[in-house]
Amino acid sequence: MFGTVVVGVGIAGLARIRDLMNPMPSSPSEHLKLFGFVSRRSFGNINDAKQINLEDALRSKEIHAAFISTENRSHEETIRMFLEAGKHVLVEYPMALSAKAAHELWEMAEQKGKVLHVEHIELLTEEYKQLKKEVAGKDLVKGTLHFTGHTLDENKAGFPAFSGIARLTWLIDLFGDLTVTSATRVKQEDKNYSRMTVHFQTANK
């Protein structure tokens, strides 16, 4: 069995715990054993998974891999700690707040002989696969991707372009490399409202 720990218990972290505790029959997950989860908040147990502290998770010889599901800004530091401790790492997209940091982390994983895997779960959904089929072979003339959500704490999630970067990768995956031609942001703090509008161009304009 391959020992694992989940770091962070937001929506993604709770889904990880659920799936590791109840793996699909005959799936690779059956070979993973969840030893616990790490969180800054105190929970005790969640779905029979026990809370352990970060130091114990890093030191444990039984834990071989960490599933990192924390806020964007803390990804880089947490990845470094687990790689330094000799663990494999799976992290939710985006891996870091800069391309430079991402390349450094991949180099570090290679030097340590460990797997560093970034997972963008939205690209694996049936809805997205259907969308990809619909645009295959077609030329993009003009299009809009609009999504909404609650206001995020920028200290934890990063600048809004990073809060929404997971959605922007849809466009790159569907239509290839994009160039930013303009970007604006409207912020109304009294209404707890923020909107970012970005225009992109494909390689063939």
Q: Give the pLDDT mean for 120-144.
A: 90
Please give the Cα distance from 16 to 10 (Å, whole number).
10
d(C-alpha 197, C-alpha 205), whole Å: 19
pLDDT digits (tens, 9 = 90+) for 13-40: 998 999 999 998 888 889 999 999 999 9
Tally the residues of the chain: 205
Asked if 78 and 92 touch (Cβ cutoff 8 Å), the reply is no
Q: Which domain holds residue 40?
A: 2-119
Q: Both 66 and 108 in a single domain? A: yes
Asked if residue 151 and residue 91 are part of one domain, the reply reads: no
86 φψ region: left (φ > 0), alpha (ψ -120 to 50), beta (else): left
Average pLDDT, stretch 173-194?
90
Rounded to the nearest angstrom, the gap between the alpha carbon of residue 120 and the centroid of all alpha carbons in its chain is 6
d(CA 205, CA 69): 36
Pair of tokens at residue 14: 């709770």
Establish if 126 belongs to a structural domain. no
The H or E element that residue 173 is part of is helix 165-175
Of 93, 119, 145, the residue at which a domain comes to its end is: 119
User: Is residue 38 within 8 Å of residue 7, measured between CB atoms?
Assistant: yes
Q: Is residue 125 part of a domain?
A: no
Q: What is the pLDDT of residues 86-112, one digit of tens each?
A: 999 999 988 998 889 999 999 999 999
Q: How many CA atoms lie within 13 A of 196 on its CB side?
A: 17
**Number of separate domains in the chain:** 2
Task: Report residue 82's pLDDT band, with 50, 70 and 90 as the boundaries.
Answer: very high
